[in-house]
Amino acid sequence: MNSIPPRVREKLKYYVYLYVDPRDGTPFYVGKGRGNRALSHLAETFEKAKSEGIGDLVSLSEEPIVEILRYGMSEREAFHVESAAIDLIGLENLSNNIYGKWSGRQGRARFHDIVKELDAEEVDIKENAVLVNINTLYRYGMTDIELYDATRSCWKVGNRCEKAEYAMSIYRGIVREVYEIATWVPGGSTMLAHEHRVGTDEMGDVPDRWEFVGRLAPAKIRKRYLGKSVCHYFKKGSQNPIRYVNC
């Protein structure tokens, strides 16, 4: 099938679909769309991982099975279903490049952590600070050094970062840790416990990016902010992981 009949498109509305490997029934891509979107990837090459998955099948005279997970939805409903499917299968098991929309704020997490987050007290920041949203890097149970590295490296920042005394590690709008900044250095110039640097290319370079070196903030500062909500500092829909406060 190369095209979905117009009458069927109208009934499908927005839908969430899967690309499934016919050899073992394993989904390797989750997407959402309307119209012919579910069939369009078969001729696309710009999403490398997905295209390689399709290419591998084509080389074996196979093609992916296209499944509809849910249909007849609004766009907003489709975004939620897509995000839930990616969270359940695991991004590491898919050729998707990113988690679904709103996954960082409403995605899969432990029940008691969600309760704590929804019950978090809103806090006003008095210090000069840079808020670093690490939604794509954070995971529950990460070590202190992993959290530090995920927060400090490496970001596109402006001159305002030089005024920041503290860096706050933010996940789901909640302050996870606070660091006292010693200095900013070129991205990739310091050693990380695990190489996860944002924006790296195949050679490991991080042009136009910076990372800070620092230490845990004083106890009174950490007590004031840890576990508190700073959602109100981030504009709804903003994709920029960096937010300056009092800088």
**Among 49, 78, 106, residue at a domain's last position:** 106
143 falls within a domain: yes
Are residues 95 and 150 located together in one domain of the fold? no
List the CATH number of the domain containing 12. Answer: 3.40.1440.10
Report yes or no: 208 and 157 within 8 Å, Cβ to Cβ: no
Q: Would you give the DSSP letter of residue 75?
A: H
Classify each residue of 185-201 as buried b or exposed e, where b means 16 or more C-beta atoms within 10 Å of its C-beta: eebbeeebeeeebbebe
- C-alpha–C-alpha distance, residues 55 and 194, integer Å: 31
219 falls within a domain: yes
Predicted pLDDT at 184? 96
Q: Tens digit of pLDDT for each residue in 22-64?
A: 999 999 999 999 999 988 877 665 555 566 677 778 778 888 8
Place of tokens 């591998």: 56
Predicted pLDDT at 112? 76
**Among 79, 106, 133, residue at a domain's last position:** 106
228 falls within a domain: yes
222 falls within a domain: yes
Report yes or no: 66 and 14 within 8 Å, Cβ to Cβ: no
Are residues 94 and 158 located together in one domain of the fold? no
122 falls within a domain: yes
Are residues 52 and 133 located together in one domain of the fold? no
| pLDDT over threshold 50, residue 225 | yes
Range of 64's domain?
6-106
Portion of the chain with pLDDT greater than 90, in percent = 56
Contacts of 203 (CB under 8 A, 6+ apart): none
- C-alpha–C-alpha distance, residues 112 and 52, integer Å: 39
Are residues 163 and 131 located together in one domain of the fold? yes
Domains identified in the chain, total number = 2
Highest mean pLDDT among 117-126, 192-201, 213-222: 213-222
Are residues 90 and 117 located together in one domain of the fold? no
* Mean pLDDT of the 175-201 span: 82
Place of tokens 């369009």: 40
| pLDDT over threshold 70, residue 113 | yes
Residue 32 amino acid letter: K
Residue 176 corresponds to which tokens in the numbers above?
């996870």
Residue 33 amino acid letter: G
* Mean pLDDT of the 101-115 span: 68
Are residues 185 and 91 located together in one domain of the fold? no
Q: Tens digit of pLDDT for each residue in 137-146?
A: 888 778 999 9
| pLDDT over threshold 70, residue 125 | yes
1 falls within a domain: no
**Among 106, 137, 153, residue at a domain's last position:** 106
